[in-house]
């Protein structure tokens, strides 16, 4: 059974890891391919310390990103209701439908906050009235807003 060696990746390597990851590979793979190609370096105490510092910075960045998402959620839920004007036919039925792009534009104009339209989950909206929508601001943070569809 061959001994495995630890290396730190300089670049993303498919099926192995991302840049900065500490991985164990076969000695021949490291010696003959990864290190000569500049894809990885051997681990030393100094490099291990750099990896730990990089991981800590990444963890701090993720915490900061989540806090920003929490504050954006609070801002969206403070505003509460967003109005969208649509052309209306008989029985309060609207022509077309309300799209995530329209909701993102209304949020942008009302709060000056840019929201990714792909993170907006809408119910089927076919009449005027009030509807609940979810806006995903972060993988762990989702805001619930109310949309009022009014005749234009």
Q: How do the pLDDT tens digits run along the chain, 152 residues long?
A: 568 999 999 999 999 999 888 999 999 999 999 999 999 999 999 988 988 898 899 899 999 999 999 999 998 888 878 999 988 888 888 988 888 999 999 999 988 888 899 999 999 888 889 999 999 999 999 999 999 999 88
Please tell me the chain's helix, strand, coil percentages from 3-state DSSP, rounded to the nearest 5: 40, 30, 30
> By three-state DSSP, how is residue 53 classified?
helix
141: helix, strand or coil = strand
Q: Which residues span the domain enclosing 121? A: 66-151
Claim to verify: residue 86 and residue 23 sit in the same structural domain: no
88 and 135 part of one domain: yes
* SS3 assignment, position 146: strand
Both 41 and 102 in one domain: the answer is no
Overall number of domains in the chain:
2
The residue from 22, 44, 63 where one domain ends is 63
Cα end-to-end span (Å), the chain? 75
């Amino acid at each position: 059974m061959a001994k495995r060696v630890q290396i730190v990746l300089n670049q993303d390597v498919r099926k192995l890891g991302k840049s900065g990851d500490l991985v164990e590979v076969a000695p021949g793979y490291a010696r003959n391919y990864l290190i000569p190609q500049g894809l990885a370096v051997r681990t030393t105490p100094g490099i291990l310390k750099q990896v730990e510092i990089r991981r800590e910075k990444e963890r701090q960045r993720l915490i900061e990103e989540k806090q920003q998402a929490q504050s954006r959620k609070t801002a969206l839920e403070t505003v509460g209701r967003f109005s969208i004007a649509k052309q209306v036919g008989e029985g309060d039925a609207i022509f077309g439908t309300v799209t995530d792009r329209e909701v993102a534009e209304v949020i942008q104009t009302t709060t000056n906050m840019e929201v990714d339209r792909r993170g907006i989950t809408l119910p089927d909206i076919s009449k005027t009235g009030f509807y609940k929508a979810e806006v995903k601001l972060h993988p762990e943070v989702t805001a619930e807003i109310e949309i009022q569809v009014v005749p234009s």
